[in-house]
Structure 1
Amino acid sequence: MQSPQLFQQFPPPEANIIFAGDSAYPPFEWSGDNGPEGFNVDLAGAISVQGGTSVRYLLGEWRDTIEALESGDVDVAAMFVSPAREKLFHFTTPFYVVNHAVYASESHPQVNGAYNFSGQRVAVEERSVAHEKLLAEDLAVDIVLTASTQAALEAVLSGQADSVITTEPTAEYLIDNLELPLNRVSPPFWPSSYAFAVKHGRDDLHLWLQNALNAAIASNGYQDIYENWKSEIRPDGNSLIHIPFYVGYTAITAILFMVTFFLWSWTLRRKVINKTSDLQAALVRVSQSESHARYMADYETETDLARPHYFNQLVNEKLKQCPVNSELMIFRLIRLNEVSGTLGQSYSKELIETITARLKARITGPCCYFGRGTFALFSSRTEVRRFLEALSNEQTKQMPYIRYVAGSARFSKHGRSSEELLANADSALLTAFFNNKEWVVYDHSMDPSPKDQEIITALRTCSLEGMYAVYQPQIDIVTGQLTGAEALVRWQHPTLGALSPCDFIPLVETLGYISQVTEKMIDAAVDLAVRLREEGRPMVISVNVSVHDLADPAFFAKVKNAIQRCQGAFCDLKLELTETSFSSEIGTISETLTRLKCLGVGISIDDFGTGYSSLTYLSMFPVQELKIDQTFVFNLEANTKNCDIIRSTLMLAEHLKIKTVAEGVEDKETLSKLRELKCGCAQGYFISKPLPEAEFLKFIKEYSAPGQA
């Protein structure tokens, strides 16, 4: 039974955790007649019991499993720890150690390890630890890559390789069960720790996994599994002791009895000592692991400040003492994204580190970092005011390219709990932001309107009932044929009625709930694209995405899963990125866009010409299309400057081999002028207003090119 003194219960991050592994790696994991089997599979089951959630075990080729873990398509995989893998994954405490060895035909001479058979053809499973080590240590061997350990062994039998480097338990299991004429020709080497791995950035999953594994190890679960598989995962390598034949039977019996008794006594004593030592070491590891896991759960890794949930807890504990003249303040760095895009990520990081150091030096109460340049602190009013004054003075000297806004709420006038104070301080911060003030103290007049409050409540509870997509068609300007459509969000709120995007998008972006809307639009676009393809009318559907979406490490997996879930085509989805989306977290965004483009998803810059660093972004990201903003398209015939801007943009796009779409086409004259300028596609009310799905499908059936109806 799990001990409540040793283990804090951490909730599972998801209702169903997906474990992945190698489909041909017995005795640890393989695809049996009744599904996944093996030591790792049983251990995952024990973790499921201790962790309080269900798990699913998916098996495939090992190289595909690692790629799935890297992309976030699966949650957990058991693998050997290595320096290269530690750069990609976060590992749990190791639960087993496995040796490697060299295997070859019976005629192959004995070798001392992996270092003295240069020039040979050595088979290894692709992306295995053996593969990594051969590459890292630059051994003079010809590497033969295979999809599995069994395929590596068979490569020797077929003459494609001279030997195999692999793990002992798996090689011994396959050689015995498949009756392969191969032997181990080296002593064990490269001992490797076996552990569960999760992708970096999934701290909640790692925390839950480590806690559940600790509980399984400390309970009988792990020991029972180990005893059940011990004979398979610990190959018997002991040699026999031959007694000379001329020793008398009686002497043999007496000697064997004495030796047996002595060995039994000595072994028993050593077992007790070792078991006691192992138990003590395990308890120490559990305690250390629990402490580390608890710290990781409570403190933000970039700043070492409290995470929001722990900040709330600390503030509420302070409030129990009814502190007089205490104040909770939130402050946010303004235009941090733009500054980072101009001066670089290093400047942004140094800025956050500088402010964090000032907080730790000047504030005695709890401090918190929400991310994206937003901090919170709780202390006396005097200390809060002095910190803000110091921040204002340092802004001019040390942070000339950044400004901040702050909002605060006071105990107990503005709230008697951390949650109330945070909400009211946030309202004050928004007031400061929209009124261009540095610092505002909350008062009741700042409360959101009932309409805004209801929208905020719906967003916070993920209740997006009535939110749907409308579709505005796009056409090829030369042929007049339909080429695609842009999905735009609308909201028929259950109680507020029809809401314009102007009513809720600013709140969505300000409060950080844009990802909910994006996911809903992507799902709607993919679903429509699938149906159109099934009807024989494939069409690209575009969806707008924000910086919050692109900077999310899980965004790639979300898009990929949405398309695969509907069995759609990647080429039927296009992501439209506003230029301001590119001003922060360049590395993450570039990687995400590149991976999506490799799948076939289209990448477009929306509102081109109105944002920041347009030309720089064209060189940084795998852009395939520019959407010319409607401000340049409106009244195009009469505005010669806009006409010149569009002409220059089209020439640039032509040289870069990028497609173009003009937005906001309102009349026939504008469409004709765009055709004259050789713009590729057009979108606007002259073609069609944004249409609900049913009307859009009807529009497609009845459509004829403008001017041809």
Structure 2
Amino acid sequence: MLRISEAISDNPWRMKRAIFFIFWSFLTLLIVTIPDATGSATATPTTAETPTAAITAIDPLTGTPERRITFGGNSGYQPFEWEDQGMPLGFNIDLAKAVSKAGDIPAEFKLGNWAEILEAFEQGEVDVLAMYVSDERARLFRFSTPFYVVNHAIYGAPTQLPIPQPVDFTGQRVAVETRSYAHEELLAKKFNVELVLTDSTEGALNAVLLGEADYAILTESVAENLIADSELPLESLSPPFWPRNYAFAVQFERKDLYAWLEGALSQTIASDQYQAVYEKWESEIRPGRDSYIQVPFYVGYTALAAIALTVIFFLTSWTLRLRVISKSFDLGTAMERADRSENNAQHIADYETETGLCRPHYFAEMVDKTLKQKPASCELMIFKLVHLSEVRGTLGQAYSSELIKHITMLLKDQITGPSCYFGRGIFAVFSDPSEIELFFESLSTKQIEAMPYAQYVAGSACFPEHGSACGVLLDHADAALSMAVYRNKHRLVYDSSMDPSTTDQAVVTAFRTHSLKGMYAVFQPQIDIKTGQLIGAEALVRWQHPTLGALTPDEFVPLVEKLGYISQITKLMLNEAIRVSALLRKQNRPLVTSVNVSVHDLADPNFFETIKSAVEHFKGEFCDLKLELTETSFSSEIGHISDTLVRLNELGIKVSIDDFGTGYSSLAYLSAFPIQELKIDRAFVTGMVEHEKNCNIIRATLVLADHLKLKTVAEGVEDEKTLTLLDELGCSVAQGYFISKPLPEAEFLKFIDNYLA
């Protein structure tokens, strides 16, 4: 005891905190134990202060309403509160019963899932509800003295990497209980996560087990009990965080109920009933491992109540006084640890762990705070370490990490404003333009000797010329960075010409949301040059955009192919080609229809099944479909693509190389894939009559095709002279405006009728 007393006296702050709690308990006990008119002490409010409780029953003898206090609870929140065969159980339930008994008003319980019970509480169907205390809830409800402190933790499969804090969840699917504190906190902090809402803690754990969510944020005690009882293959992937006070809440306007509740709870704590309830449930409400915070408040309150009684009734008891100081010291220590835990959690939330630089959300906060002070001029620069993946692959992860640390050290040494690390070698800084200029010079030249394989590219935006908020400056700096990469420049400052095209934005939005309204197929006929017979057609995409009007393929196909959305066009064209081919076959005039596909389409493991399903759906024939392989890029999945094409060949589908000779991969395709046809690009065909070089290129292509036993198609045939020359050179098939322009379906079918007549 003496050692504890000395420890407190050596720390004035702890002494002040201990004295504060002693004084608080003394006042509380005085309020609870003030004698009534008869001279006896009571904790029950006067008749005027008796709470307006819910009327739940009529006394059969007197016919008068019976007063009840309805306590709400979560039916699946073991060990705090749950329902077993209609019986409410748990720590909160037993504490509510003790409070009810101390306040001399019977209690009843209404349990359900948390969202339902919270709504019932808000609508007045429930009088008292135990919940976490938060600033937002404190604006809506009155809270009693806290009676426990509860942590949260992150849960997932044991194979997943630890997650220190929710801020590290970026892009993940996170399961939470609907309207829980975790749900409210994730929304308030605007973490970049996909929320998976469930009706219970068990539901959130099951969402992770079923793969519907990557992680779950849950109350530690409840989740640990469920995982242990059900032997779930899940575990905590974080230290405890978000320590919150647990207290009873009542509606803000019900002052009489609040006065009754606070008095009854104080009497429960002072009479050691709280300690009895806590000791009954201690083994379950404390998680099965060490925690930063999980200290029951009764440790302090019981001791403080004891010292108050000692002051009133046993002023000479020095031993009890030392015991109270000791307990108060324990409570102060627990609160100090809670403060440290919250500060640590906040630091982890605001600063990136690898570099110690600001996380993006905190960087934005600091920049906006500076901008509100209206500085004369500032610059926001985003710079990127070029070829980081190649550096990592060539020189190793250790070198890559050292490179990031080297940049971080330069930032901390030379930049006074906030700095941010976005990951993947991308940094942002905000400071005085001259300071940023000197920093980038040293980064690019003088300091490069420390890390000789580092190359940088940057984009900047200036305040106030380019924006007055961090979000705007970031967007403009990012646009400048993208343009610097595109133009192969070391660094560019934003100007309005760098803004993305509104047409491109509308196109990307349409493909991202699968809103391809107005997109359709046109068909350009192909004829056999020797016989003049109509033998096929190519399906080509057109788009009558709802707001942009008619768009040519050149305006959207290269963009969506670059962004990886081309498969949506391919699927639409395949369906249209197969549908029209099936229609023509039913009319006894079969025609092979060609569709452009990319190597990325063929690399899709579902591509074969997509074609097979479409043919079966439209009741078509595989031999009526031809795939024209475009040469815009080459894939590393040669084996898989070749296998897919072989399987399609076996079904009767032919494969052609489109625009042969214009792409770098022509000969590679001939070597790697089962090809039956070469399609000569219009760039050579259009000028072949006037230009001997074009004619010689086509002649050489036809010789190559003849040696490889491949069929040839010339596109871009605009006149009869070109068609005649192609015939003389030995080309098989022609396509172009001399035969027909691309036609919508109805006109194409009419063209066939006229051609065959």
TM-score by length of 1: 0.48
**Rg bigger for which structure?**
2
TM-score by length of 2: 0.45
